[in-house]
Chains A and B, each alone.
Chain A
């Protein structure tokens, strides 16, 4: 990190602090990637606090509902505070039975969006917007969907980066301290806090560098080698079309095996469970659907740039631009470094990560060779990706540590950002497609 970047980062943090009066751990971790942080904060600020179809307390409550799907008590606590501050009715915090039917109706879509977005159909949308006492207007619904997707994805980031609740001095105002999540034992964020007690600490970058073990270096070399080969071989080796299609299927299937065996059914604390309905509903592999064969989502037929953007911006003005900028930012973000190497073109790696997440949600890019995923993403990384995007609450520090051991922390945070945004985009694409179908 150059001095310039650090300076920028400080500025940004100072600004954030001056607007929101706090610097949460998410902001601190993200501030490793200043450019991204800026667009992240801008879009989050817009959807939570600026003009929009939904009243402010609603927005925070929806955030709570979304975070609860992944039992992310960190986000829940944060928004419980905000919810009360913006004048929300405290009674609602007792659980879903206490909220208006209108909000309750959002449960179904929240559940699907969080775990199996491909199941969302226009019928779900119709049910919500059908005129009646508790109906949602389309702009309101779009706002809600954006919030849901944002907070599902943010939960992934929180667990992926091991962000712990802040030690907030003023949690006493009626809100309980929630036990530190037991699945998440890594303390990355707080390490940083200590190092960064003073924001201007100039040795920030150094802290991030991990000491490396000698044998892991060879892993890195191998990865670099593979990237190089892929780039060179591109022209020569032309896979047949069938081959390409099967590669996608294979990748999809393989993602099944990636995940570890049985997890004990987690006991969801009541703090969280009162915000959710049907807690057993979780991610089910897209590929393992058996009879009810759902078609693959063809990315070219409903792209964010062409379709998603236009719809979302039409119904909830300006959010499209902010999200667009954010997606673009995260996709193009690079320092041209890989671990200790400099001047590396990481486009391929970034694209593989992004597309792999979409692949797990059944979104296929015609112009992508899914063989690359296999070449570039090692098994431990795949395990990590799948856990973070599909079951973020199960992420452990071991998973985080076990992939790309020689990479810097900042790079791993970058990976988390990519996963988060890819997930958000996937959810949005499914939801918006359903809305489009409802409209036509």
Chain B
């Protein structure tokens, strides 16, 4: 509480001053109300009914209104209100349905004045007339509102809402005779106090109960309502039909709304459940509260502005048994914490960056990227000079950076996704197929990985030696490529991929792309490197050559020759596939130091000098020695981690799916889930719905699997009455007609229904298919040329 500032405001003659402070109540509060002079506050709850005076430094208990040996339920207050005309007059609504008035001027200890026991159920709200001393209004759970004249013993008039419980009643400030009532079923009614027979106007404001309402203090046609549907709505009541002019979506059901004095567009709210904070909203900016008070530790049940003309002091009571005075100066302003910059990648590697204009222009030492890649667009919002509470300048700049077409191309991703086979065949075939796919797209490293996987996991007995040899030839290429990664020369495909991932904030490959100073600069660098990298094949070729020079000691010539004139990428030199593993381990595996791995390393290293053909037998012998296939699991795991790290979740996820149980245990659930979500996200951004669905289906993660079960509903409207069909697709409850007739056979369609999106005629899938084989027109005879694909 140190930070609290002392605030003083002048209000005509009166001066309000104070600081953020609180006091402990003995019991949870249900409601609070403030005296006209802003010097005292009354707190009411089930077990508390006290008056506190608001001093400079603290709250001081003035009076305990709960007297008597055995306090009766009449003291158990659901609501309390202090008369704004007479400072001796209070009214409470009791949970047992009694309305009680209190006269502080009474000499005796018991200040109870009148007792109205007319309501049959809990009274939710009481409200004094703003200008009339003797008029009190109550709204109850039993659905009735009653108007009392305090000079009489009984109610003057009873208003029946003809619907469920009344949650709030409020006298209009402008019209002497008007009051608003809100109901549990979502309705708001306007009544004329002189006409108890019928409401003047009614409209549905919310879905579910409307917990509260408040008339605007100055702009008098406005009524704010808050409901269980988490909305605050502002209605303009000046027109014949209530018009919703503002709507604020909060995060929890709204228990109270109070317009902020002197601020036309500000409104304070607190919630009924879960959320304990008090928010002050500018209704024109519904997405972020303009101020927030976070002191309470349980739900806030009552809020009230301390003075009718002072916007800086807010009092609140809460279930956590505290009473607070909040000062606006001490409020936290979420806008300050909001991130004023935004950064987003498009699918093809374009980058959009938005920031405050001031931020960008002040950075003049950075030279803007020249050329037509940059399209800065500026958005500016005019400040409203009349609005004194606007704290942030809201002009911002948006820059878009485009990568050039070739290097940013993600075609390989799409093709790979489409062509990979993930299930439904034996593992060996899947691996072979995928290796072929990868190779076809010039992704040798990936292709080799697949081949390796096949060797590791599929039983070797049924693999012909020639086959094996071949795959090993491919497998050997992994090493050079890995080295190339280490040297930070990235093939463009992978580069852009990892950037895509970075936009989701998951990639940690700082060694590749990022010297990470400012993202903007980075990106420019990035582009430049990419620009120079454009001929990706060329780069690969380079590396190859190097590798050949370095490693081509002991491999056979025919292959090497082949390499020179045919497809270079295919003709990677034959080499011991096993050599790759240790080298991959060397730079990938810093943490995994299991004896298994090192053992493997030792073993394989010892094998390196062996000629490639003899390798087959070695692999065989490895197997025959009953080396379990999970012997390789750490390596495979590292391979997957490596790919994911590089930004190639596609490979990681595909391998994960293909290997299934064989590898699943090796990688922790969360990482898997992470990969899956990333890959699915990418697939969906490329609109590869079928593939993403397949991936979801094949995944073994619980969290991923159930993605498929979400939002599987299709809503259908009846073709006759255009109303939604409740639960059957083929018969309408309302007009009792079968809605979906087959245009061909004129029977009801109960199974698969296909319809044309152009003319909306359709029918049995089989019938329509047959029909459209012979005719291109709609079978219903509407003349539409239906398309069926």
Binding site for B on A (CB under 8 A): 11, 15, 18-19, 42, 50-51, 55, 234, 238, 240-242, 244-245, 298, 300-301, 305-307, 309-311, 314, 321, 324, 366-367, 436, 439-440
Residues 66-94 of B at the A interface (beta carbon under 8 Å)? 70, 72-74, 76, 78, 94
Q: Are B272 and A15 in contact (CB under 8 A)?
A: no
**Interface hub of B46, B96, B710 (most chain A Cβ within 10 A):** B96
B124 to chain A, nearest CB (A): 10
On chain B, the residues within 8 Å of A19 by CB distance are 727-728
Q: With A245-B73, A307-B272, A436-B273 as known contacts, state yes or no: A55 contacts B702, CB within 8 Å.
A: yes
Which one of B48-56, B114-122, B599-607 contacts A? B114-122
Complex formed: what's the CA distance from A367 to B122 in Å? 6
Which residues in A have their C-beta under 8 angstroms from that of B209? 305-306
**Interface residue B276 (Cβ < 8 Å from any Cβ of A):** yes
> A307: which B residues are within 8 A, CB to CB?
272-273
Q: Which residue of B lies closest to A50 (CB)?
A: B713
CB pair B274 A298 closer than 8 Å:
no
A238 to B98: give the CA distance in the assembly, Å.
Answer: 12
Complex CA distance for A51 and B299, rounded to whole angstroms? 30
Question: Assuming A11-B733, A367-B122, A367-B141, is B299 touching A305 (CB within 8 A)?
Answer: no
Interface positions of B from 283 to 300, Cβ below 8 Å from A: 297-299
Known A310-B228, A310-B272, A366-B73: A51·B728 in contact at CB below 8 Å: no
Contact partner, B46, options A238, A298, A305, Cβ 8 Å: A298
- CB of B272 within 8 A of CB of A55, answer no
A234 to B211, CA, bound (A): 29
> Is B97 part of the contact surface with A, judged by Cβ < 8 Å?
yes
How many B residues touch A, CB cutoff 8 Å? 44
Give the residue of A55, A306, A311 whose beta carbon is less than 8 angstroms from that of B274: A311
Contact with A along B708-745 (1 / 0, CB 8 A): 01111100000000000001100101000000000000
Task: Kindly list the 7 A-B residue pairs having the minimum CB-CB distance in the complex, ordered from nearest.
Answer: A241-B72, A366-B95, A310-B273, A366-B96, A300-B95, A367-B97, A310-B253
Known: A310-B252, A366-B97. 16 other contacts (CB 8 A): A15-B731, A55-B702, A55-B706, A298-B95, A301-B46, A307-B273, A309-B208, A310-B273, A310-B274, A311-B273, A314-B274, A366-B73, A367-B97, A367-B141, A440-B297, A440-B320
| Of the residues B76, B94, B96, B252, contact of A314 by C-beta under 8 Å | B252
Q: Give the chain B neighbours of A314 by CB distance below 8 A.
A: 252, 273-274
* Structural contact, B728 and A15, CB atoms closer than 8 A: yes
Give the most central of A238, A298, A367: most B CB within 10 Å: A367
Given contacts A15-B728, A440-B298, contact A238 B120 (CB under 8 A): no
CB distance from B294 to the nearest CB of A (A): 14
Smallest beta-carbon distance B99→chain A, Å: 12
Chain B residues close to A by CB (< 8 Å): 46, 70, 72-74, 76, 78, 94-97, 117, 119-122, 141, 165, 184, 208-209, 211, 228, 252-253, 272-274, 276, 297-299, 320, 702, 706, 709-713, 727-728, 731, 733
Partner of B95, one of A242, A310, A367: A367
Q: Are A367 and B727 in contact (CB under 8 A)?
A: no
Tell me the smallest distance from the CB of B46 to a CB of chain A, in Å: 7
With a CB–CB cut-off of 8 A, which chain A residues contact B710? 51
Docked pose: A294 CA to B711 CA in angstroms: 43
A-B contact count (CB 8 A): 86
Instruction: Note all chain A residues with C-beta closer than 8 A to B120.
Output: 234, 367
Residue numbers in B under 8 Å from A440 (CB-CB): 276, 297-299, 320
CB-CB under 8 A from A311, the residues of chain B are: 273-274
Chain B residues near A42 (CB-CB < 8 A): 727
Given the contacts A311-B273, A367-B121, A51 and B712 also touching, CB distance less than 8 Å? yes
6 A–B contact pairs at CB < 8 A? A51-B709, A234-B120, A300-B78, A305-B165, A366-B122, A367-B122
Interface centre among B72, B184, B727 (most CB of A within 10 A): B727
Q: CB within 8 A of B96: which of A234, A244, A439?
A: A244
CA distance A300 to B74 in the complex (A): 14
Of B74, B165, B272, most A-chain CB atoms within 10 Å: B272
Q: Find chain B residues with CB under 8 A from A321 CB.
A: 208
Distance in Å: Cβ of A9 to nearest Cβ of chain B: 13
The answer to whether A305 touches B184, judged by C-beta atoms less than 8 angstroms apart, is: yes
CA distance A366 to B94 in the complex (A): 9
- Determine how close the nearest CB of chain B comes to the CB of A5; give it in whole angstroms: 14
Bound-state CA distance A270–B545 (Å) is 75
Contacts of A306 in B (CB 8 A): 209, 211, 228, 253, 272-273
A34 → chain B closest CB, angstroms:
12
In the complex, which residues of chain A have a beta carbon less than 8 angstroms from the beta carbon of B728? Answer: 15, 18-19
Q: Per a CB cutoff under 8 Å, which of A238, A242, A300, A366 touches B70?
A: A242
Cα separation A300 to B209 with both chains bound (whole Å):
16
Q: What is the CA–CA distance of A431 and B621 in the complex, to the nearest angstrom?
A: 62
Q: Nearest chain B CB to A87's CB is how many angstroms away?
A: 11
A-chain residues with CB within 8 Å of residue B298 when the two chains form the complex: 440
- Report the nearest B residue to A301, measured CB to CB: B46
Distance, CA A298 to CA B27, complexed state (A) = 14
Cross-chain contact A300 with B252 (CB below 8 angstroms): no
Is A242 in contact with B72, judged by CB distance below 8 angstroms?
A: yes
A298 and B709 CA atoms in complex are apart in Å by: 39
Instruction: Tell whether, in the assembled complex, residue A300 and residue B122 are in contact, meaning their CB atoms are under 8 Å apart.
Output: yes
Complex: chain A residue closest to B728, CB-CB? A15
Distance in angstroms between the alpha carbons of A401 and B74 in the assembled complex: 42
Q: Cβ of B297: which chain A residues have Cβ within 8 Å of it?
A: 440
Please tell me if the beta carbons of B96 and A367 are within 8 angstroms of each other in the complex: yes
Report A-chain residues with C-beta under 8 Å of the C-beta of B211.
306
The answer to whether A51 touches B711 (Cβ under 8 A) is yes
Residues of B contacting A366 in the complex (Cβ-Cβ under 8 angstroms): 73, 76, 94-97, 122
B513 to chain A, nearest CB (A): 35
Bound complex: CA of A429 vs CA of B298, how far in Å? 18
Are the C-beta atoms of A439 and B727 separated by less than 8 Å? no
Q: Which partner residue on chain A sits nearest B68 by CB separation?
A: A241
Query: What is the CB-to-nearest-CB distance from B226 to chain A, in angstroms, rounded to a whole number?
Result: 12
Closest partner residue, chain A, to B76 (CB atom): A366
How long is the Cα–Cα vector from A42 to B733 in the complex, in angstroms? 15
Cα A15 to Cα B750 in complex, Å, equals 12
**A11 contacts across to B, CB distance below 8 A:** 733
Q: Which residues of B contact A439 (CB under 8 A)?
A: 274
* Complex CA–CA separation, A306 to B253 (angstroms): 9
Nearest-Cβ distance from residue A300 to partner chain B, whole angstroms = 4
CB closest chain-A residue, reference B727: A15
* Distance in Å: Cβ of A415 to nearest Cβ of chain B: 22
Interface centre among B94, B120, B228 (most CB of A within 10 A): B228
